[in-house]
Amino acid sequence: MERNLTIYQSVDYVTKIVLDTVDSPNSKLAYGHALSSFMDWYSQSGQTGLNKAAVQAYKNIMRSKGLGAATINLNLCAIRSLAREAADNQVLDPMIAVGIQHVKGIHKEGKRLGNWLDKKQAEQLINEPDTNTLRGLRDRALLTLLLGCGLRRDEAARLSVDQIQIRESRWVIVDIIGKRNKTRSVPMPAWAKTAVDKWLQASGITEGRIFRYLNRGERIANAGITDQAIYDIVKRYADLRNLPIAPHDLRRSFARLAYKGGAALDQISLSLGHASIRTTEIYLGVQQNLTNAPCDHININLDK
């Protein structure tokens, strides 16, 4: 019992260990919030020890608050990691940690479909920024890459000037590092390249990160924007158009618009860099089609 109680006394130490095992900044933030919320409840609920019964009780509390299955399961995943790392570092009895691992998550009924933009909505969104300003040029270039290339927001945040190259007589974003450190290259539609060029020309950026912070006087910082900043940018323009979307919905819209435009499903999957793409390549012998790429089937019109 004494070793079991030590877990609360050492929570900051163990939490840091847990967060060090997570690569994604968003996951670190989510896990940190989940563990903080759990330990707040733990300290206020009069629990006698961290064990399976305590975690099960917290799970029931989350359900009674009406939290969704995805949120509850994320919290439980963070708590399981806490227990596992605590046991590995001799802060928690290993048998208790095993019991906590057996707390089942919530079964999710159905599947979240997300939101998509049609062609008209997509054009409205990317033409919303005021291109008479540096900020507007930057934001439009960002929106075109999210929508025209299907990039994740963290991929767009890390994008550098030298990654835009000519391959097989067309512009391509090369060496994008996605989930699980998988690398892929994605063709660019002409309208996205135009928007990016206008931003780079106006900003004077010739190397390093493409998307930078701007202060109130529109002076360009050396630091690149974060994926959270990209989320805020997308939400701001989406709200102006009353579009219920988030950055990942632009990735979904890329896939749907390309598919409706006639792009092959396997080519869309390659552009998106889905986890099963390597298996698909081996099974079908599919290679990225740079001549007739998915983005070529999305005909967006940029305002002059």
Q: Which residues are catalytic?
A: 152, 179, 248, 251, 274, 283
Name the token pair of 204.
Answer: 């004077």
What residues contact 153, with CB distance under 8 A and at least 6 apart? 146, 227, 230, 231, 234, 247, 248
Stretch (H or E) spanning 86: helix 69-88
Instruction: Return the structure tokens found at 14.
Output: 């163990």
183-187 and 220-224 strand pairing: unpaired
Backbone angles phi, psi at 278, to 5 degrees: -65, -40
Please answer whether residues 273 and 176 qualify as being in contact, where contact means their C-beta atoms are separated by less than 8 angstroms: yes
Give the C-alpha separation, 104 to 63, whole Å: 13
48-to-6, 26, 51 alpha-carbon distances in Å: 12, 32, 9
Which residues does 116 contact at the CB level (< 8 Å), separation at least 6? 249, 252, 253, 256
Please count the residues of the chain.
304
Tell the residue number behind the tokens 């002076």, with chain if given: 219
Task: Answer for the pair 6, 53: CB distance below 8 angstroms, yes or no.
Answer: no
Is 149 within 8 Å of 173 (Cβ atoms)?
yes
Catalogue the E-assigned strands of 151-197. Answer: 164-167, 170-177, 183-187
Residue with tokens 């109130």: 216
